[in-house]
């Protein structure tokens, strides 16, 4: 029996000859790796129709790479290594290995549905179209949100020039409400989230234009197809969804660099200029593209520090009793202003502090610091080390979901409470606070288990690790942790678990400082230490806490003495039985009345 061709995905029955596919599906990197495995599994799960599957592996992280290699070993795909490049560069590279009648480019952050590829191929065969594209949703399927149901070009003449703009039809509409009424047919353009192209058309119009580095490559290929008299057809019965980063599928640390390469205002401006020159139009897309890029760039969480220090220099200056960190909110504000933070950022910081004050106000830690002082100084550690401002704000709220804080007050992380906090301080800050609380609730990692791959950590988890290092640095200032009965082994575990993550994010100086502060605390407790702040008698004295409210108890004692004095004055001096005298002396002697 002849074995199926490598990379051909089909459901041919055992013993039947291999099904020769009409289409090659080519998966191309778009902007992140963190959805790649889900996207691949989605494609492989919906394989009722035969297709060859080629995967351009552009430096995938370890877990994705292992899954790709396993799928290749099973004969489900053909893996092609690819250096980082622009989307059209990668697609042209992939075209060299395509031998089928059609090629379907699909991004590595797209999920598909049953019948997606068969419907596209059937429509291409029926219509003779050069390009066929599906109904695009965006987000998880449960979001029920249309990205585009066909594209429309708008041309107009002004001052002797042809102006051009594009429109995504039915953008943001509910898919469940209108998908059944959508009609397929000719359209002006589709997008490369998923697009079927005729290889004959590509031979006629030439390769994809690699001068487009970021945007408008989908507009260009559709214009080229229509110029060569090929139809561009929308097929709504084929449904796919491109999934942007969300809480269920967050950005990984390894996504940061390629994502930043992918989206840039400067590069987009060059692409718009190239489209205008090539097609002799004046593009009016600038405002829409700017809005799109602002959203894309702003969607990526920030974790790396704004400034970089050498770890050696930071460790040299460490002293647990002298430090550059402030403990009052007005001084924190001045520190932020000195670092160049804007009035808008200070206003957001003020809101975060007010929320923390409402939750933890009036409470004290075991070291007899106010809880708010601890929060402010933790934020100051992050400001000094140049952390992004979302981390600074989140540090004021890092205990908001932690039930075991010394303040004794917290929010249960229900969806209602999380939505409330998001409204108050923003989605990204709330997410860091939630990740911090979740990591603390999970406890230390299993030392026998495999170490996590730092590159594949969600960015929000890495942000929580950076805040955790800052929190524990603050605990060690003035040996406060010794008063809270925290073992130094606790800090060693935190350093082991979170230090490598913080270092990978660029906080080598802060991690080195943390290690040095742990060493100084150990030295202060060592026999023969001359540090008066770590003297055993002082630590025990400051650890003592009154077992009852002092003011209330003192007030009760005063009232009791006054009452006892009135009673004594009314008791006759003579004729009192001895047992009663003894009982009175026992009761009143603590008050100095007998």
The residue range of the domain holding 276 is 8-299
Q: 444 is written with which tokens?
A: 């230390």
The vertex-401 CA angle with 397 and 406, nearest 5°, equals 80
Above 50 in pLDDT, residue 445?
Answer: yes
Q: Do 273 and 340 sit in the same domain of this protein? A: no
**Boundary residue ending a domain (299, 324, 352):** 299
Q: Do 69 and 173 sit in the same domain of this protein? A: yes
Percent of the chain with pLDDT over 70: 80
Q: Do 427 and 284 sit in the same domain of this protein? A: no
In-domain check, residue 64? yes
Maximum distance among all Cα pairs of the chain, rounded to whole angstroms = 127
Residue 540: predicted pLDDT: 56
Average pLDDT over residues 509-520: 91
For 95, residues 6+ apart whose C-beta sits below 8 A from its C-beta are: 103, 202, 207, 208
Above 60 in pLDDT, residue 531?
Answer: yes
Q: What band does 321 get if pLDDT is binned at 50, 70 and 90? A: confident
Average pLDDT over residues 148-166: 89
Distances (CA, A) of 187 to 103, 241, 311, 500: 19, 19, 58, 51
In-domain check, residue 321? yes
Residue 579: predicted pLDDT: 64
Q: Do 176 and 319 sit in the same domain of this protein? A: no
Residue 567: predicted pLDDT: 59
Q: Give the residue ranges of DSSP H helices in 142-254.
A: 175-178, 199-205, 217-227
In-domain check, residue 45? yes
Q: Which tens digit of pLDDT belongs to each residue from 218-231?
A: 999 999 999 999 99
Residue 541: predicted pLDDT: 47
In-domain check, residue 305? no
Output the DSSP codes for 369-399.
-BHHHHHHHHHHHHHHTT--HHHHHHHTTTT
Q: What band does 561 get if pLDDT is binned at 50, 70 and 90? A: low
The HSE-up count of residue 486 (CA atoms within 13 Å, CB side) is 23
**Boundary residue ending a domain (299, 322, 340):** 299
DSSP 441: H
**For 66-72, which contacts have Cβ atoms below 8 Å and span 24 or more sequence positions?**
67/37, 67/40, 68/40, 71/40, 71/44, 72/6, 72/7
Residue 356: predicted pLDDT: 93
Q: Of 211-225, 288-302, 523-537, which range is least confident?
A: 523-537
Above 80 in pLDDT, residue 18?
Answer: no
d(C-alpha 496, C-alpha 253), whole Å:
19
Q: Do 126 and 173 sit in the same domain of this protein? A: yes
Q: Do 259 and 402 sit in the same domain of this protein? A: no
For 432, residues 6+ apart whose C-beta sits below 8 A from its C-beta are: 390, 391, 394, 398, 460, 463, 464, 467
In-domain check, residue 548? no
Total domains, the chain:
3
Above 70 in pLDDT, residue 326?
Answer: yes
Average pLDDT over residues 377-383: 96
Read off the CATH number of the domain in which 126 is found.
3.90.550.10
The vertex-525 CA angle with 524 and 526, nearest 5°, equals 95
In-domain check, residue 3? no
Residue 466: predicted pLDDT: 97
Q: Do 24 and 80 sit in the same domain of this protein? A: yes
CA-closest candidate to residue 402, choices 442, 357, 460, 367? 442
**For 163-169, which contacts have Cβ atoms below 8 Å and span 24 or more sequence positions?**
163/281, 163/282, 163/283, 163/284, 164/275, 164/276, 164/279, 164/281, 164/282, 164/283, 164/284, 164/285, 165/283, 165/284, 165/285, 165/288, 166/219, 166/285, 166/288
Average pLDDT over residues 15-35: 87
Q: For tokens 């995905």, name the residue.
A: 9
Residues 380/338, Cβ–Cβ less than 8 Å = no
Residue 362: predicted pLDDT: 77
Q: Do 183 and 289 sit in the same domain of this protein? A: yes
In-domain check, residue 516? yes
**Boundary residue ending a domain (299, 332, 349):** 299
Residues 2/16, Cβ–Cβ less than 8 Å = no
Crossing angle of helices 343-360 and 371-384, rounded to 10°:
150
Read off the CATH number of the domain in which 458 is found.
1.10.3210.10
Q: Do 503 and 568 sit in the same domain of this protein? A: no
Q: Do 485 and 519 sit in the same domain of this protein? A: yes
Average pLDDT over residues 195-202: 98
pLDDT top residue among 539 and 295: 295
Q: Do 158 and 289 sit in the same domain of this protein? A: yes
In-domain check, residue 306? no
d(C-alpha 452, C-alpha 506), whole Å:
18
Residue 4: predicted pLDDT: 42
d(C-alpha 8, C-alpha 21), whole Å:
7
Q: Do 287 and 360 sit in the same domain of this protein? A: no
Residue 594: predicted pLDDT: 47
Q: Rounded to the nearest 10 degrees, how much is the dihedral formed by the CA atoms of 457, 257, 214, 108? A: -30
């Amino acid at each position: 029996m002849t074995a199926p061709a490598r990379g051909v995905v089909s459901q041919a029955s055992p013993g039947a000859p291999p099904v020769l596919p009409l289409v090659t599906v080519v998966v191309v990197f778009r902007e992140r790796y963190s959805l790649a495995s889900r996207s691949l599994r989605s494609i492989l799960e919906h394989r009722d129709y035969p297709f060859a599957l080629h995967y351009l592996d552009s430096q995938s992280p370890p877990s994705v790479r292992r899954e790709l290699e396993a799928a290749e070993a099973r004969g489900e795909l053909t893996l092609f290594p690819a250096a980082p490049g622009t989307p059209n560069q990668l697609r042209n590279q992939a075209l060299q290995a395509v031998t089928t009648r059609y090629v379907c480019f699909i991004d590595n952050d797209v999920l598909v549905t049953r019948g997606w590829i068969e419907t596209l191929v059937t429509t291409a065969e029926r219509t003779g179209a050069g390009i066929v594209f599906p109904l695009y949703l965006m987000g998880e399927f449960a979001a029920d949100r249309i990205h585009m149901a066909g594209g429309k070009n708008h041309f107009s003449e002004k001052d002797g020039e042809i102006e051009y703009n594009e429109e995504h039809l039915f953008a943001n509409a509910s898919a469940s409400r209108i998908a059944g009424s959508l009609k397929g047919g000719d359209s002006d353009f589709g997008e490369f989230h998923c697009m079927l192209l005729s290889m004959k058309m590509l031979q006629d119009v030439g390769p994809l234009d690699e001068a487009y580095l970021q945007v408008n490559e989908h507009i260009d290929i559709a214009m080229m197809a229509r110029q060569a008299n090929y139809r561009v057809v929308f097929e709504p019965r084929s449904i796919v969804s491109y999934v942007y980063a969300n809480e269920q599928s967050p950005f990984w640390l390894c996504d940061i660099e390629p994502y930043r390469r992918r989206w840039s205002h400067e590069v987009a401006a060059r692409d718009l200029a190239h489209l205008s020159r090539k097609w002799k139009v004046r593009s009016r897309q600038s405002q829409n593209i700017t809005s799109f890029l602002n959203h894309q760039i702003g969607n990526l969480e920030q974790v790396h520090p704004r400034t970089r220090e050498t770890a050696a220099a930071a460790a040299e200056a460490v002293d647990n009793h002298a430090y550059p960190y402030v403990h009052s909110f007005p001084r924190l504000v001045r520190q932020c202003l000195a670092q160049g933070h804007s009035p808008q950022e200070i206003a957001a910081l003020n809101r975060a502090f007010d929320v923390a004050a409402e939750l933890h106000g009036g409470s004290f830690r075991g070291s007899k610091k106010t809880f708010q002082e601890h929060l402010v100084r933790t934020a100051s550690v992050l400001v000094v080390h140049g952390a992004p401002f979302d981390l600074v704000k989140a540090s004021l709220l890092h205990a908001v979901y932690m039930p075991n804080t010394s303040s004794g007050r917290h929010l249960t992380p229900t969806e209602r409470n999380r939505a409330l906090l998001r409204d108050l301080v923003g989605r990204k800050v709330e997410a860091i606070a939630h990740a911090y609380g979740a990591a603390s609730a999970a406890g230390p990692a299993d030392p026998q288990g495999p170490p996590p791959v730092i590159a594949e950590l969600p960015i929000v988890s890495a942000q929580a690790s950076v805040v955790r290092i800052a929190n524990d640095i603050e605990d060690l200032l003035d040996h406060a942790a010794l008063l809270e009965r925290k073992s130094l082994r606790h800090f060693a575990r935190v350093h082991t678990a979170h230090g490598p993550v913080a270092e990978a994010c660029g906080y080598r100086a802060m991690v080195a400082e943390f290690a040095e502060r742990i060493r100084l605390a150990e030295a202060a407790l060592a026999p023969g230490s001359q540090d008066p702040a770590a003297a055993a008698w002082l630590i025990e004295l400051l650890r003592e806490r009154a077992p009852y409210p002092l003011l209330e108890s003192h007030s009760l004692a005063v009232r009791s003495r006054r009452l006892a004095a009135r009673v004594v004055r009314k008791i006759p001096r003579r004729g009192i039985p001895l047992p009663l005298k003894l009982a009175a002396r026992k009761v009143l002697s603590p008050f100095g009345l007998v």
